[in-house]
Chains A and B, each alone.
Chain A
Amino acid sequence: MLEIKDLHVKLADEDREILKGLDLTIPKGEVHAIMGPNGSGKSTLAYVLAGREGYEVTAGDILWDGESILAMEPEERAAKGVFLAFQYPMEIPGVAGLTFLRTAVNAVRKARGLPELSTPDFMKFVKGKAERLNIDIDMLKRPVNVGFSGGEKKRAEILQMEVLEPTLCVLDETDSGLDIDALRIVSDGVNAMRSRDRAMLVITHYQRLLNHIVPDRVHVMVDGKIRKSGDASLAHELEKSGYAEYQAKAA
């Protein structure tokens, strides 16, 4: 279970507070969505969960499986099962996709006390997953994400998620830059990973993605706090009414 308790976060080199006492609980087996306008702190929450530098948690805590992850390095969090699908997946020139995936998988397996995968075993492991995401193995021989279209990057991101077998998946604006076909492939990939051992947090600006990945709960985030929570129908409500009433309340 993910438990975020009264989380206050500011930028490390600025005084401006971004998350202002955020509370959120996601039990395993559930998919929650956070929706909110630009600048509400959604991406900050995603980065703070993954352990990116540059943010300072001034109060509150984040527990995963009952354990605070705030003091953990990003790689320790990954080993504990935390995965962030980036809004803008990064290009790594000079590192072949397969090399990157194998290095990551084996680092995580090692940290989890599992034996590392040999190259042939790894290839078997990755091949089926890549095919389901419509990713050609030749594409993975190229440097990570270099020259990929927006849709290819997002599919590659979901492949990373699948091979790392996380238990907490955070998807930051995964629908941005996707056409309708890519959106369906990515959503199918995410849905295939839904399981009772896994909690998922889908961060999005638009309701569109939530037609494909139907959440158990929807939270409205405005100005660094959850302002309202409800079931999947809340997303449709928001699509009609927008965030204006929450913004007015927050201000």
Chain B
Amino acid sequence: MNVAVLKTKAEQALSESFASAAAALPGSAEIRRLRLDAMSRFGALGLPTRRVEAWKYTDLRNALKDALPAPPTKAPKARPADVEAALGPLAAVEAHRVVFIDGQYAPDLSALVADGTVTVASLATLLDSDASAAELLDASAHDDDAVLALNIAYAGDGAVVDIAPLADLDRPVLLVFVRAAEEPSFAAVRNVVRVGEGALATVVEAHVTLPKAAKDFQLNTATKVIVGKGAKLAHLKCTLEAGGGTHLSNWLTELGPDADYRGFQLTAGTLLARNQIAVTFAGEGAAIDLSGAFLGRGAEHIDTTLVVDHAVPQCTSRELFKGVLEDRARGVFQGKVIVRPDAQKTDGKQMAQVLMLSPDCEFDSKPELEIYADDVVCGHGSTSADLDEDLVFYCRSRGIPEPEARALLIESFIGEALEKVEHDALRSALAELAHNWLRHAAPAGGDA
């Protein structure tokens, strides 16, 4: 049967507004061609629907009613104190801080020490000036991803972080993405993190909001990560945008031999969040540990989708995600682990656990193991449960008031995932963010 594919209002708007947006986007003729190619891929793919297996539980085509315009070119003024307040507990973490307001680099709010170990540049600047910048937008291994295609087409700015070989960073690189626009708007951010051979680094992406920002927003963010031979990267993302918006995120990680990658994501307070993490093992002996916590209430929908591709032998993967769902919130966890025929001695373990605190919340869990090698150890598990009322009573009988007893037990549940964060100050800040959320305070300052 041959059916003309009808485009939704959002799809049409995204395609049509590209022509006018393209002129303002950074990049040479080569970059413009890349963007055009991406846009035509998007035109062919359309927004993903639940009929696309990877989007089975998050029907983006249905959820995205309209495309929002780009934010005003003159970003609203944000003072350093506003950024501090928006970061909440994260502000106390000593870091190389690089700030973006509505997707645009804000040099006056950024404090980077150039000490030869780490360089952070604005993507927009590099796209305009660097002849080899096309690779910064490359995602050729993910040609079938409509969200990534939009990201390439519209990417306005982002951070390009280079960690020198053998560098041992004394503090994390904190990339702060502040939502400030008072009108609903769309932004596409593209980051690149390259960790040189043998280097040790921590890179954090924090998505936060100013109190006066519009409730509605659309963010499409993608971070390409390349971890060199024997290097170790802790990569964290805190999605705390507070509001009624859509947060679409992609991490595309490629690991060299003996690399060690520890990814962690905390998501709380976004109406629709889709966090995709794709990891490819390109060299033997590498290890990943992906973990995170997602906290949803109201009508929030938080989707964590992992694709771990064991393309080479002798690699290890661990995944642990913890969710807390209240009200009508919906959590989605999809964990695909591919073990290619040559990837012998692969060791993979995956676990997703969710606390469902209301009869109206929903959790969809889909582990997928595709194993083509025969000498491997792989396992997965998924649980969902309510709080143990006997434990709540036990705490209350010791004088702990009920709300505090519940919060304490939920915190202990999330704690197992937070323990995966090795950086002490970051782990404490994340714990405090979760603690605030559980007590119905805005996780990171501002009004929730």
A84 to B396: give the CA distance in the assembly, Å.
11
Across the interface, which residues of A come within 8 angstroms of B413, CB to CB? 94
A95, A105, A108: which contacts B412 (Cβ < 8 A)? A95
Closest to B416 in A: A94
Selected interface stretch from A5-13, A47-55, A198-206, A231-239: A47-55
CB B343 to nearest CB in A, in angstroms, measures: 34
CB A225 to nearest CB in B, in angstroms, measures: 25
Tell me if B16 is interfacial: C-beta within 8 Å of chain A: no
- Residue interface bits B413-427, CB-to-A below 8 A is 1, else 0: 101100000000000
Give chain A interface residues in 33-91, CB to chain B under 8 Å. 50-53, 73-75, 77-79, 83-84, 86, 89-90
Tell me if A149 is interfacial: C-beta within 8 Å of chain B: no
Closest to A104 in B: B398
Tell me if B351 is interfacial: C-beta within 8 Å of chain A: no
Task: Indicate if the CB atoms of A94 and B415 lie closer than 8 Å.
Answer: yes
Across the interface, which residues of B come within 8 angstroms of A78, CB to CB? 396-399
Tell me if B404 is interfacial: C-beta within 8 Å of chain A: yes
Selected interface stretch from B93-101, B146-154, B282-290, B387-395: B387-395
A95 to B412: give the CA distance in the assembly, Å.
6
Tell me if A4 is interfacial: C-beta within 8 Å of chain B: no
B389, B396, B411: which contacts A75 (Cβ < 8 A)? B396
Interface residue tally on A, bucketed by range: 20 to 34
Task: Indicate if the CB atoms of B398 and A160 lie closer than 8 Å.
Answer: yes
CB A189 to nearest CB in B, in angstroms, measures: 17
Tell me if A244 is interfacial: C-beta within 8 Å of chain B: no
CB B222 to nearest CB in A, in angstroms, measures: 34
B389, B394, B397, B399: which contacts A92 (Cβ < 8 A)? B394
Main secondary structure of the interface of B (DSSP, over half): helix
Across the interface, which residues of A come within 8 angstroms of B131, CB to CB? none
B389, B391, B393, B399: which contacts A107 (Cβ < 8 A)? B399
Task: Indicate if the CB atoms of B408 and A74 lie closer than 8 Å.
Answer: no
Known A-B contacts A92-B412, A94-B412, A94-B415; the reply to A53 vs B393 at CB < 8 A is yes
Closest to B413 in A: A94
Task: Indicate if the CB atoms of A93 and B396 lie closer than 8 Å.
Answer: no
Task: Indicate if the CB atoms of B393 and A52 lie closer than 8 Å.
Answer: yes
Task: Indicate if the CB atoms of B399 and A90 lie closer than 8 Å.
Answer: no
Task: Indicate if the CB atoms of A75 and B412 lie closer than 8 Å.
Answer: no
B390, B394, B402, B408: which contacts A103 (Cβ < 8 A)? B408
Across the interface, which residues of A come within 8 angstroms of B399, CB to CB? 75, 78-79, 104-105, 107-108, 111, 164
Tell me if B85 is interfacial: C-beta within 8 Å of chain A: no
Across the interface, which residues of A come within 8 angstroms of B63, CB to CB? none
Closest to A80 in B: B399
B390, B397, B400: which contacts A50 (Cβ < 8 A)? B397
Tell me if B80 is interfacial: C-beta within 8 Å of chain A: no
Task: Indicate if the CB atoms of A92 and B409 lie closer than 8 Å.
Answer: yes
Tell me if B401 is interfacial: C-beta within 8 Å of chain A: yes
A160 to B399: give the CA distance in the assembly, Å.
11
B389, B398, B402, B408: which contacts A164 (Cβ < 8 A)? B398
Across the interface, which residues of B come within 8 angstroms of A86, CB to CB? 394
Across the interface, which residues of A come within 8 angstroms of B395, CB to CB? 92, 100, 104
CB A211 to nearest CB in B, in angstroms, measures: 28
Task: Indicate if the CB atoms of B391 and A90 lie closer than 8 Å.
Answer: yes
A89 to B394: give the CA distance in the assembly, Å.
8
Known A-B contacts A53-B389, A74-B393, A90-B391; the reply to A95 vs B409 at CB < 8 A is yes
Closest to A52 in B: B393
CB A40 to nearest CB in B, in angstroms, measures: 22
Task: Indicate if the CB atoms of A103 and B412 lie closer than 8 Å.
Answer: no
Across the interface, which residues of B come within 8 angstroms of A100, CB to CB? 395, 398, 408
Closest to B415 in A: A94
A75 to B394: give the CA distance in the assembly, Å.
10
A67 to B70: give the CA distance in the assembly, Å.
65
Known A-B contacts A53-B389, A86-B394, A95-B408; the reply to A75 vs B416 at CB < 8 A is no
A51, A93, A94, A143: which contacts B397 (Cβ < 8 A)? A51
Across the interface, which residues of B come within 8 angstroms of A89, CB to CB? 394
Known A-B contacts A53-B389, A90-B391, A94-B416; the reply to A84 vs B397 at CB < 8 A is yes
Closest to B390 in A: A90
CB A98 to nearest CB in B, in angstroms, measures: 13
A50 to B404: give the CA distance in the assembly, Å.
18
Task: Indicate if the CB atoms of B394 and A107 lie closer than 8 Å.
Answer: no
Task: Indicate if the CB atoms of B402 and A73 lie closer than 8 Å.
Answer: yes
A83 to B415: give the CA distance in the assembly, Å.
28
A160 to B393: give the CA distance in the assembly, Å.
15
Across the interface, which residues of A come within 8 angstroms of B398, CB to CB? 78, 100, 104, 107-108, 160, 164
Task: Indicate if the CB atoms of B390 and A75 lie closer than 8 Å.
Answer: no
Across the interface, which residues of A come within 8 angstroms of B402, CB to CB? 73, 75
Across the interface, which residues of A come within 8 angstroms of B405, CB to CB? 75
CB B411 to nearest CB in A, in angstroms, measures: 8
A7 to B398: give the CA distance in the assembly, Å.
24
Closest to B419 in A: A94
A105 to B400: give the CA distance in the assembly, Å.
9
**A-B contact list, 10 entries, CB within 8 Å:** A73-B402, A74-B393, A74-B397, A92-B395, A93-B416, A94-B413, A94-B416, A95-B408, A108-B398, A111-B399
List of 4 A-B pairs having minimum Cβ-Cβ separation, nearest first: A94-B412, A78-B399, A108-B399, A74-B396
Q: Hey, which bits of chain B sit against chain A, CB under 8 A?
A: 389-391, 393-402, 404-405, 408-409, 411-413, 415-416
* Other 4 A-B pairs with CB < 8 A, given A78-B399, A104-B400: A75-B399, A94-B416, A108-B398, A164-B398
